[in-house]
Structure formats: C-alpha cells, structure tokens
Structure 1
Amino acid sequence: MQSVGWLEWAPKVGRNQRSMLHLKYRPDELTADLAKMMISEGKYEKALALIDNDQTLFGQLLQNTSGATRREGQLHVQLTYRRPFSQLLPHIPQRNSERFLLRQIYCCLTKCDENGIVTPQLAHHWTYNEERYHWRFYLRPQLSFHDGSVISAKVIAELFTQLKDWPGYQKELAHMESTSVINPHCVEFQLNQPDPGFAGLIADTRYSIQPVSQLFTPTVIVGSGAFQVQEHSDKRLQLQAFDNYYGCRALTDTVTVWQVSPQKDDSFCTTTLQADIAQDKRSVCSHYLSINGENIEADNGQQTRIEDGCLLMLFNHQADLPILQRKYLSQILTTEEIMAYLINAKNQIEAIPAHNLLPTWIKPFGIPITQQPLPEKLTIAVFKHQALMDCSEAIKEILNHAGVKCQINLYSFGDFHDKAGANRLNEDLILTSLNLDDNRPTSAFRWLLSNPVLHQSLTPENSKWLSKELINIRHKSPLTEYLRELEPIATAMISENWLLPLFHHRQTLHFEGILKGVSITAWGWPSIQEIWSED
C-alpha cells in the first residue's frame, strides 16, 4: 500500500520501539482511487458497485480517466460527453456530433472533401453521361454491412428508390427518375436534368449506405463504416472497429463515449468533449466561437479550426413583418449588443460576430434606417442548444428595452424539425444553426436547397426563387465552384433581411503528446480512426 502511495510507514529499530503508520487518504478517497483504477482497466460495473452506484462520482471518475489505454494488446479510447446521442440513423435530422458519428459508422458511395474533390469509398469508379444525364457507380467486390449481409448494386438501387420519396429528400432527388442494376457491382442513376456534381451530393451523411430495412425497423444499428455499434444507451455509446471495413482498418480498437452531465457551464457556446489521458493531466476538446477562417496548430498539443457555419436568426414570413421592421430589428439586434448581454450573464465568452453564413464569405453592407415602430409582442422559437438559448435570452432582453415583450418557445431538436417540416413553426423569430460537414460544398448547397427550418421561414415566392437559383448552379457548375456561386445568394438573403448571422464557432482540440495521429475534424471531434499510441 505504501508503493501505491496510500500510506506512509516509518519503522523504528529496536525491541519495543513503535513504528509509525500514517494513512495519507480518507477512506472515501481510497475508495474513489480504487474505483478509478477499475475504470482504467475497463471494469465499469465493479467500479460502480464499489462506490455504491454514486452516478455523480462515477461521472467525475470517468472524466479523470478519459483518454487512450492499451489492454490485452488493444487500444481503447474513452471519452465523456455532456448529453446522450440520438438514434444514429442517416435519414433523420441530426445534430453536429451525431453527424460525426455517422461518418464513423457508415460509408457512402463516394467521399467529397472541403474543396469539392470527389474520391472513392464503396464505389471505386464512376462515370457521367452528359448527354443522357445518367451516372454509373462501380462497387468494390465483397462489400458487407456490419451484420455480414452483402452490399450489392441491388441494395444500393433499392435504398435510393426508397429515399427519393422519403421525407426531406424530395427536393434533392426530384431530378432522379430511376435507379437500375447494370450488374451486381454496377448501379445506374437516371436523371432528367444536368447534374455534374451528383457524385458529390451523395457523399453527404444523409446518403450513407445502410440496409433498406433499417429505414422502417431500426431496432439494431447496422452500418457500413470503419466502426460498428456495440452498445448505444442513455449512459454510453460503444464502438468497435469493423475488421471487414473496405479500407484500412481503424487503428483504434474500441471507442466508448460516456454521457456525463456537466455540473456547471459558465461559458457561452462551449460544448466539451473530455479526452483526458489516463494520467494526472487533463485535456479537453472544446468548440468555441472564433474570429477568422484559418486553421491553427499550437505547440502544446492543441489544434483549432473555424467551424464552417454559424448560429443565425430567421425572420419567419408567417409573422408578416414589413421589410422596414425586419431591417430595423437587424439593426438593433447586432451581435455586439448580444455580446454585451452575454458578457454580463456569463463568466467566459469565446465569441465574435458572424457577418455571413461562412466565415470566409463577404460581409454585406446596408444603409441604416431611422427608428421604426415595432410590434408589442414577438415570439422566438429555439431548440435545446445552450448557445442558442443564451442568444434567445439576450435578444429578449434587448427587445424588452425597445418596448417589445418577448416569449421564448423551447423545443427538443426533433420536435423543432418536425414542426418546421409540417410548416407549423409559427414564431416570429427562429434561432437555429448551420453546421457544414466535411463535404463542405454539397453540405452548404443541401442546407440552402432543402433545410426545412429555412424554407418554412421564407415566403413561397422567396423559397421558389432560392430553389431556382440553386438548381441553376447544379445544372452548370462543378462542385469546386459551388461555394463561390453560393456566396452571392447567401449575401442577398442577408441584405433582404430574410436571416441574420450571429456567431461562428472556434473548435479547439487539446490532447496529450503521447497520443499519435490526433487531428481535428470538421465537427470538432478527434479523428478517432487514426489515433494510436507507442505504448
């Protein structure tokens, strides 16, 4: 016990001399230390039993032991996160962290990077007939899902046939007339209009390859990616490397993400992914708001990047606010005013204004107008996202000073999107977020074309105009030009006071030097497939 630092023993020489035995810790501290050792060894149930099922203490110990450990020759990564994850299915609306996990669990036919360059995934080759508007994708041989079932051209064709009529997919696949099987390893998509970027569209997480049956009866998650789901509950998510993955097997054998509610959060727009190494020092992966669009790599095991997207406010056309009122509201609800409120309400602020949807896009300029009469009351819709809720309180306070009473209606993420899809999000102002994935050009295109929250806030005429402009881009532009073509459209929407960007995130990843291959992804999470250790 002295060797592990629990007590001090000072023996004395000679008969009848008393040795000194000093216990350095209280019994409850020793119990916690033993439980911590058990957690480090993966003995979670024994640790819980030892501490009498104290969930608060268990959560603290999980945070202190998070990181990478090697047991019986396998590399295990343990993380903690502040909330449980929703069901990990590609065809339902998902938040930022869930979409990161979709990328680990599923593959697409292709992969599209942040510059619009398409590379192979399950399909090793593809062709596009510009005259007939058809795409053919050639599958790798011997592909399988996590349950061992075969991924064939027939499975792909059936999946996309179902998705064409699935809620939320109609706009994106309206130009897809049919899918057909050319041979077991070749599937053809027949379009009715030009789309030279179709191979990039289907690289989105929404088009992850899954069994068709999972659309209807998703009892067990079956994917096609580098990790398979071993357990998904309110307490933890456990992933296991998939040995039959088409590409290079993940270097990490298992990843366990425990749900641990934060005791206190005084930071605006900061979500924390605890990623400690199982030693004394602590490291944190955090998402912050930032000021520019450059990636930075620090010397102390830290990487940061600027999130492609922003928090934003939509003016709901159902409120029927005149253009002058919308413009005046945009003028008084500046990010500087919102920031001033947040500084008074929070202990730590990591945020600066967003002037467009993406940090690299141009800042629109408008001519200030004189004070306009405002409604006596306005309503604000927001889903359960701490930064958005903070912004809604700030907006409410600013409008109260302007003589406008505000009511904030808070929804779950699912209810928020369901109401938008049914055109029943009736509040005057809608707070939401835009978070682009690693396929940045098509992710931005998709959000503008088919996001239900955005389109239900627009008038039918404005929604029709936006869709027409986007389809024109799809007809004529390669993927590498999408972002350049989308920028003036987003700028026009801001200038017309359809929406108001608020803040950009800075995503920061801290890690210990003994870990190798740690890099930050588009979602602010570490690239868990590439993590390794020399131990």
Structure 2
Amino acid sequence: MPSERLYLHFTRLSQLLPTGEAELTLPELAALLCCTPRNARLLLRRMEQAGWLCWQASAGRGHRAKLTLRRNQQQMRQQQLAALVAEGKLEQALHLVQGRTEQLLPHLLAHSRCSAPGGRQILRVPYYRPLPYLVPDVPLRRSEVHLVRQIFSGLVRRNEENGEIEPELAHHWEQLEARRWRFYLRPAVRFQHGRQLQAEDVCESLGSLSSYPLFQHLERVEAISPRTVDIYLREPDPWLLQLLCEAQALILPREWRSLPDFALQPVGCGPYRVVRNDPQRLQLEAFDDYFGLRALLDEIDIWMLPKLAERLTCQLRLAPERADLGQRRAESGLEAGCYFLLSDDRSLWLRDESLRHWLAATLDPIALMAGMARELQQILTPALGLLPHWRDLPLPAEVARPATLPPRLVVACFNQHLEFRELAGAMAGLLASHGVALELRELDYSRWARGEDEDVDLWLGTVNLEHDRDFAAYSWLQGVPLLRAAWNSLDPLWAQLSDWRSQGARPGPRQWLRQRQSESRFLPLFHHWLELESRSGVHGLRMTALGWFDFRHAWLKPDNGGDD
C-alpha cells in the first residue's frame, strides 16, 4: 500500500494542477512538493509505479518535462479509503471520511474478508452499535448473547440443529438423586488469561445465580474433586440440563470481578478471546488453547458504525455485490420471538381492563404497519403469539371505546434500536387520532430490563429466543426482571410457572402467556425476519436463531484456490 505521505504529496499536486497537466522542470516540481529535487525524483517514481501519473522527461538540463495526472482527487481518495479498510485501519479511514461513516460501507463490504501475513484469515463485519457489556451475569440483548457464547463455555450446550444437549466443559454427567446431579469436568481446560479451569470456578459461577428467579431452586454447588462437581437443588428439575444451556450459566473465572475492564474485555474458555473492545471496534481472536476444535477463522473484526443503522437492510451482511464472487447466498427465517407491548400494573390507567382491551384493538399490528416505513414492512410480519407457531389466539373482536381515555401515556423502550422509534411513531399517530398523547422514553437496556421506572404505562420491547421450545419461553418469563415488576399483581402465576418446571404441572408457558394476551397485558406485535447474506467466499455459514453465525465453523476459501 502506498504511504500516507505519498497520498498527501499527490493530493498537493492535484490541488496545484487543476487541469491535471503541466510542463515544468524537476526543480519547479520540487518546489511544488516542498522537497529537494532528489526527493522529488523518488516521489515521481513511486507515483508513476502506482499508476497515478505520467512523467515524460526531456533530455538536457533545464528542459521542461510533461507531467500528466492519471487520477483526480476523488479517485485517489476512494483508493486510499479502500486501502485503509483493507488493512483494517479503522481510525485512519474514519478520519479520511471526516466521520461520514456511510462512505465506508461499500469498502467494508468489498474487503470483508482478507488474509493477513502468514495466511491469517480475518472476517470484518459492520455493526451499528457498541457492545460494552459482555458478561453473562444479567439479561442480555440478542447480539450480546451470541458473542458471550463465543467467549465463554458452559457445562453443557444445546445443539441448534436438533435441540439435543451436548457435552462442553463437562464430558459426562449423571443424576444421582431427584435433587442431586453430578458433572465430570474435562482436564486441562484453560481460561484465556492462562489459568486452568478448576471445579471452584464452576461452583462460584453457578452458585452465585441462586438469587435470580430463573435459578432460585439451585441450593448449592460443591466441588467433590478437582474435576467433579455436584449440583444440589431445592426441588426436582427435569429441565436442569436445558437450564444449564442458558447464557447466564456460562462459566467465568472465579476472580472475574477483580479483573480490570472485565465487562469490555472478558476472559472465558470459549473459542474466541477479546483483544479489543471500544466504541469503534470489537476484535475477537481465535483462542489457540481452546479445549475443542480450534476455530477456523483467526480473527473476527466487528466495526461499530452507528450511522449505518438505516443502511444495513440485512440483519448481517458479509458480502459485496460482486458477480465474480459467485452466487449470492442468503439465509432468512422468522425469529423465535417477537416485538411486543406490556401493560404495567403500576399504571393507574392500565389497571382498567376495558382500556387495555381498547389499546390492544387500537394498536393492531396491521394498523401499525401501515404507518411504518416500507423498509420495515418488508422485514416484519404481524404476530399472534410469542413464537411464530403460537397462532391459536383469535384476533380480538371490535372493542368499545372507554368513556374516559388518558390524556397521555408513557411508553418505554431500550435505546440503540432503530425500529422502536418508527414503531412508537406509528403508535403515537393512532393514539393521537383519539386525543391520547404518547411519550417515548428511551432507556439503556439494563434499566429497561429491570423495569424500575414506576411511571411507565407501556413497555415496548423485543425478545429473541435461542430456540422455539416451551423452555425458551419459560426462561424468558423467569429471566427478565421487567415482567415481574410490570405484572406485580400476578404472584400466584409465577408459582404456577415453577410448578410447571418441577412437575410438568399445567398451565405451562404457552397457556400462561395466552391468558396474559386475553387480558391485554401482553400484546405481540410483529415477528422479525432475520437475514444473513454472504457473497464473499465465506464458507461454513449457517444462520443461528439469533441472526448471527457460529464463528467457530466459518472459513475463507482463498481466491486462487490455494494458500494466500
């Protein structure tokens, strides 16, 4: 790649020679470039080798030569930008475009795959927001859940294709008693900071979860030997293995709270380790000491370009639009989850069931979609339940308008999610026609998930489950504090969910949510079409339920069919 200094010299020439041609001597050219004639000759040679100009010298001292520029400033700027992106120099590229990040996208897609010296395979991915918290100790958003699974490992994992439970850190397990399970740990597993995994790490990670409703039946976790762990339960749990597949059950080093900047640069024993995480870039590198099969891609480089949110029409795009790279590959599917509205029992207005029913009828998904941008209409489909196949709730009949409507309602969503503003705008338009003002309150995700704002009437959110079985709905209901905060009058029903988990008692999660829908406390709005597009020679891709791909199995085929 030509040096930054060479680009600057050419830019200076193009500014001083607006016609692109001139006849001048070498000393005159040196004066233009503010250097010695010897250096000017070197610069000319390099620019000519790069194909930027043509220098036709004349014989004899003092004779003028003809200089012809073969590139204009715009062409050179694009070439420089492409070169910076290809080399992964994000900061310099952003400086060159003066913060106009939309100008980076074509180049980033064109250079999404590359090989570094030594044949290292690097995949670059554009993304629209920073990822500052990658610790699985609290409810996380969809992308964070995917990423912590690349960084950390659990005792067991769920096979996405068939739903079966597979060994991970534990190579075998057995149920000794109704409330006691034993897990046998793999030997010589290392964390990414070098220390070996010990039974005490498992005890600390899982034992600290009992304060969360989803894990409240965990009584204690004991190390029986350096590689054997027993889990004691307060009540039987036939779903325990599914529970241990949850992101919060991933294993952290027991000293994680004392490690600096752990939220930004966490340490796990998964296939990838974090080498950089800031508002501009998340850089993941394959962990060579991973206990499983070493990842095929050496590096995943996620570039944070917030202004691209409105331009990234795919959920995840890894490809330029170039026919020479072969047929475009795209996977799409409806998410296991939906956009939804929750009514808050703490709202004086929404304690009125007739008002809740009226809101459900007024904010009908079809009516909302009519008020949204066409781009969003193409990736959303109306929902009748939490999961796409839960379509057994009939559409509501026409509902009478209450005698008194609230002059104002507050709806809260989490920030850095483009669709929420559009959706809230459509809601506001429908309600305004009835004289009801809608105030949108954007919160950071952790505050939204806690549901501590008591002056909120409606909660707008989205849930993306990792599979479409009943346990996924159960784990969401029990795992997000917002639901208990908003539905604080429904304590007996939380007990019913625990009975379902321990005994298979009915009603289960589906019936429980159907009842909440019939009360208009839970309003499913839309299912989102997730899409993963690749045309850049990236192989081994299969879209996960979270709209990403498992980094471990992706690989790049060199353009020449051999080693780069």
Is the 8 Å Cα contact of residues 205 and 249 (structure 2) preserved in structure 1? no
Aligned to 1:491: 514
Match of 2:407 among 376, 388, 392: 376
Aligned to 2:372: 342
Q: What CA deviation, in whole Å up to 9, does each residue of 1:76-127 have, x standing for no partner?
A: 1111111111221111332111111111111111012456421111111111
Correspondence 1:95-134 to 2 at 5 A: 95-113=141-159, 116-131=163-178, 133-134=179-180
Report how far residue 45 of structure 1 moved. Answer: 6.0
Q: Please name the residue that 1:79 is paired with.
A: 125
Aligned equivalent of 1:137: 183
Write the distance in 1 (CA, Å) between the matches of 2:311 and 2:123: 28
SS of the residue corresponding to residue 137 of structure 1 reads: strand
Separation in 1 of the partners of 2:483 and 2:376?
32
Q: How does 1:327-406 map to 2 (within 5 A)?
A: 327-343=357-373, 349-365=378-394, 366-373=396-403, 374-384=405-415, 385-406=417-438
SS, match of residue 361 in structure 2: helix
TM-score relative to the length of structure 2: 0.80
Q: Does the C-alpha gap of structure 1 residues 424 and 35 become closer, same or farther in structure 2, counting only changes over 3 Å?
A: closer
Equivalent of 1:453 in 474, 482, 487: 482
Q: Per the alignment, in what secondary structure is the counterpart of residue 504 of structure 1? A: strand
Q: 1:281 to 1:230 in 2, by over 3 A?
A: farther
Contact 2:85 2:108 in 1 (8 A): no
Find the counterpart in structure 2 of residue 265 from structure 1.
Answer: 310
> Are 2:474 and 1:427 aligned?
no
Alignment of 1:21-420 (within 5 A): 23-44=69-90, 51=96, 56=101, 59-60=104-105, 63-71=108-116, 72-113=118-159, 116-131=163-178, 133-165=179-211, 169=212, 171-215=213-257, 217=259, 219-220=261-262, 221-262=266-307, 265=310, 272-276=315-319, 300-320=328-348, 321=350, 322-343=352-373, 349-365=378-394, 366-373=396-403, 374-384=405-415, 385-418=417-450, 420=451
Cα distance, 1:512 vs structure 2: 1.2
CA distance in 1, matches of 2:551, 2:55: 44
Q: 1:348 to 1:316 in 2, by over 3 A?
A: closer
**Secondary structure of 1:317's match?**
coil
SS of residue in 2 equivalent to 1:319: coil
Distance verdict in 2 for CA 1:88–1:271, change over 3 Å: farther
Q: Report deviation, 1:152.
A: 1.4
**Which stretch of structure 1 is more off in the superposition, 398-407 or 367-376?**
367-376
Does the Cα contact within 8 Å between 1:91 and 1:215 map onto a contact in 2?
no
How far apart, CA to CA, are the structure 1 residues paired with 2:453 and 2:307? Answer: 33
Alpha-carbon distance in 2 for matches of 1:282, 1:494: 50
The residue type paired with residue 502 of structure 2 is H
Between the aligned partners of 1:530 and 1:347, the Cα distance in structure 2 is 31
Following superposition, the deviation at residue 446 of structure 1 comes to 1.2
Matched residue of 1:136: which SS? strand
Identity across aligned pairs (percent)? 29
C-alpha contact 1:39 1:65 (8 A) present in aligned 2 = no
| 2:371 partner SS | helix
Question: C-alpha displacement at 1:432, in angstroms?
Answer: 1.1
For residue 3 of structure 1, report the CA deviation from its aligned partner: 8.7
Q: Aligned Cα RMSD in Å?
A: 3.2
In the alignment, which residue of structure 1 is the partner of 2:34? none
Rounded to whole Å, the distance in 2 between the matches of 1:69 and 1:507 is: 26
Query: CA, structure 1 residues 349+231, in 2 after alignment: closer, same or farther (shift >3 Å)?
Result: same
Which one has the largest radius of gyration?
Answer: 2
Structure number with greater CO (CA < 8 Å, separation at least 6) is 1
Do 2:353 and 2:520's aligned partners in 1 also have CA atoms closer than 8 Å? Answer: yes
Structure 2 Cα separation of the partners of residues 309 and 76 of structure 1: 32
Q: Do the aligned partners of 2:273 and 2:285 also contact (CA within 8 Å) in 1? A: yes
**Unmatched 5+ stretches in structure 1:** 11-17, 284-297
Cα 1:173/1:54, change in 2 over 3 Å: closer
Q: 2: CA distance between counterparts of 1:61 and 1:21?
A: 32
Partner of 2:537 in structure 1? 514
Residue range with higher mean Cα deviation, 111-120 or 226-235: 111-120
In structure 1, C-alpha distance between the alignment counterparts of 2:370 and 2:468, rounded to whole Å: 35
- Aligned equivalent of 1:290: none
Instruction: Specify every segment of 5 or more residues in structure 2 that has no aligned partner in the other structure, as ranges.
Output: 1-46, 57-63, 559-564
Q: How many residues are treated as equivalent by the alignment?
A: 496
Listed one character per residue, the Cα deviations across residues 138-190 of structure 1 (whole Å, up to 9, x for unaligned) are 1001111100112111221122222323xxx2x12221111111111110011
